[in-house]
Amino acid sequence: MNDRFWLLIGLFGMSAGAALILLIGKAKTPKEGLATILHGIVPIIAACSYFAMAAGQGSVMLPNGVPGAASPYEFYFARYVDWLLTTPLLLTALSMTAMHAGLRRPGLLVGIVLADVLMIVTALFFGLSAVPWIKWTWFAISCGAFLAIYYVIWGPLRAEAERQRADVRDTYRGNATLLSVIWFVYPVILLVDPEGLNLIGPTASVALFAIVDLLAKVGYGLLTTFRHARIADADLAEGAGPRTDAGPVPHLRGAARPS
């Protein structure tokens, strides 16, 4: 099994996953429709990235900055383009779940997306750097942004989710836990692959990224689609639309009104 095999696994897995999510996902309420689109477009973007890498258009050869490591190595820059586009969509969907009854704190959404963009861009510079101290400085900055994302997910956004109905709270907790666990694997792979300490080979790195990508985009997307379907059914059963256990959410200027 070579790099191309795993890239094709990623391509076909993402393509099938996108079709399945869009087929299963419904739009019984505007929020369910938005969740379906967000989680459906994520593997479509990822499939384009894997196609580019499999076709030889999503990578460049770079010198390896790790002492004693083989040089040069293949750097898959398309992977970072994928992450730059897809991870903000996943965080947007998670944030919308936390603030299901109304976008009370839009700054949280803006903040977590900007932290995510910073994390991906600095990880890109980490991969492109050949000078060790520069490389690991970028890695540290990226990890700092990563921790900031975790803080928002498990701090302010979780507090918002706790104001929602029990089914919405449970969905947020489940989604946040699964996403947090899967995403934690990414910096570990970057740390040990040829872009980092070179503890695993290029093919092993591509295989690991393909497997984790499929879990984070297709597996997570399918599970979330089913959960949002249950939330939509509960919204429709309420008749008056989503609410919080703490009572109606006041409408702030510029905030989204419950559907």
Q: Supply the DSSP string of 60-97, one letter for each residue.
A: EEE---STT--S-EEE-THHHHHHHHHHHHHHHHHHHH
**Do residues 34 and 25 touch, judged by C-beta distance below 8 A?**
no
pLDDT at 64: 63
pLDDT at 66: 53
Mean pLDDT of 84-96: 97
pLDDT at 77: 94
Give the homologous superfamily in CATH for domain 3-238.
Answer: Rhodopsin 7-helix transmembrane proteins (1.20.1070.10)
Domain limits of the chain?
3-238
Mean pLDDT of 113-120: 98
Confirm whether pTM is higher than 0.85.
yes
How does pLDDT run across 185-217, given as a tens digit for each residue? 999 999 998 888 889 988 999 999 999 999 999
Classify each residue of 146-179 as buried b or exposed e, where b means 16 or more C-beta atoms within 10 Å of its C-beta: bebbeebbeebbeebbebbbeebbebbbebbebb
pLDDT at 102: 84
- For residue 252, give Cα distances in angstroms to 99, 111, 247, 255, 256: 13, 19, 15, 5, 8
Band of the pLDDT at 99, cuts 50, 70, 90?
Answer: very high
pLDDT at 69 over 60: no
pLDDT at 257: 42
